[in-house]
Amino acid sequence: MNARETTATIDAPQRHPLAARLLAGTGRVIAWTVAALTVLLGFAYFAAPVPLGPAEDAVSVTAMLVPWMTAVLIAFGLIGIATAALTWKRRKALAAAGALTAAAAALMVVMPWAATSRVADVSLAASFDAAPTTAPDATETYATVDGEALKVDVYLPEDAEDPVPTVVYVHGGGWSGGSRDESAPWQRWIADQGYAVYSIDYRLAPPPRWQDAVGDVKCAIGWVRDHAAAHGADPASVNLVGDSAGGHLAMMAAYTVGDPEFAPSCEAEEAPVTSVMTWFAPTDLTTLEADSDMPASADGYLTDFLGATLEDEPGRYETASPLTHAGSGLPPTMIVQAEADRLVPMAQGRALADALTGAGVPVTELDLPWAHHGFTGQWGGWASQALRPAVAAFLEAHAG
């Protein structure tokens, strides 16, 4: 080797310096990790539920989280595209994983959007909207029962000239959790449509509250009727709205007027309500656990609420089911269901709709594709975007 060749060899840059190798290695780890996470999310989201014992609930919860991850999925998709573009010549397996990542992420965003767009106008830009911050116009105590103060948040429309219809909102939470302010953006939005909204507390399980909670809702309805005029609202038009367990309680209160097993928990005169709206709520407690794709969760909620298992107290489960009380003369009912709901299956709402329709009760059904239980918590989500105009239309038609 002559001097010129030696100098050239010494001066030539190394082909794979340490920093470049570390960077490339980190990039591969990130790409594989993103690919694995995306595939797992896709499996939970798209695959039919399979009996996995205790893991079945975990898979279902993962599927419920996917709609909240639009921004993350877009980022994963871009990482997948970049991975496939940069590695397709030298690392075929990684390139294939990148392509799979991009495809799966795109499907989890595009398919729900495309399906929901057939139901209502939905916007990708609006899907990133955060829930507006709001506060009630007033908070009062509607009753004190067994030493527990039960409160109500009041949301009023602006510049209302005539007495407006009232809406009593019953929060969800498996009968054992949740709070009256957790859906405050929805309550404010309903008020902005021209209604006086009253979001109420009720006593939570445990101990068993299958009668107490319904009695509290009825007590609140009586208080609203007595105080509506002071808020510029119409006491003759009381409409119920509830999500999940709150939807169940709203139906029970609306369907058991005068039933001594579900008496108001305070001195309140009962009267039929004008309409009732229920969002992803159970209607038949006798079949909920068996039909649910989250059986462990369903069993826990039901046992705490009813104080017994179905095997021990089948009559109690039947009595506490809105389906049992479906019959003629009930108020117009809107049943909103999430087609991908892993906790409350579609059969629950359909059974009630069939029973009410057969009894001559006006029923409005809204089935939201690819939506999961609790979708209203995502203000800008596709299902929430589709729900708002449907709610406005139902209230305009039936709230009086």
Separation CA 368–CA 382 (nearest Å): 9
| 373 tagged catalytic | yes
Q: Which of 127, 171, 341, 398 is the catalytic position?
A: 341
Q: Which amino acid is at 214?
A: V
Q: How far apart are CA 365 and CA 132, in angstroms?
A: 27
Output phi, psi for 226, to 5 deg: -75, -25
* 169 DSSP β-pair partners: 199, 241
Cis amide leading into 282 (omega within 30): no
Contact (CB, 8 A) for 244 and 374: yes
The SS3 of residue 214 is helix
Q: Is 244 a catalytic residue?
A: yes
Query: Can you tell me the distance from the alpha carbon of 98 to that of 361, in angstroms, rounded to the nearest whole number?
Result: 53
Which tokens go with 264? 């108001």
Strands 275-279 and 333-338: parallel
Bridge partner list, 152? 140, 200
CA distances from 220 to 149, 234, 279 (A): 12, 15, 20
For residue 138, which of 268, 225, 230 has the smallest C-alpha distance?
230
SS3 150: strand
Residues contacting residue 148 through CB under 8 Å, at least 6 positions apart = 203
Catalytic residue (choose from 231, 248, 373, 398):
373
User: In Å, what is the CA distance from 187 to each residue of 109, 167, 194?
Assistant: 28, 9, 11
DSSP 283: S
3-class DSSP state for residue 383?
Answer: helix
Residue 371: what are its φ and ψ, rounded to 5°? Answer: -85, 150
Residues 6+ apart with CB under 8 A from 184: 134, 135, 136, 153, 155, 199
Is 153 an annotated catalytic residue?
A: no
Question: Which listed residue (60, 127, 237, 244) is catalytic?
Answer: 244
Buried b (16+ CB within 10 A) or exposed e, 196-214: bbbbbbbbbbeebbbbbbb
Start-to-end Cα distance in the chain: 99
> What amino acid positions are annotated as catalytic residues?
244, 341, 373
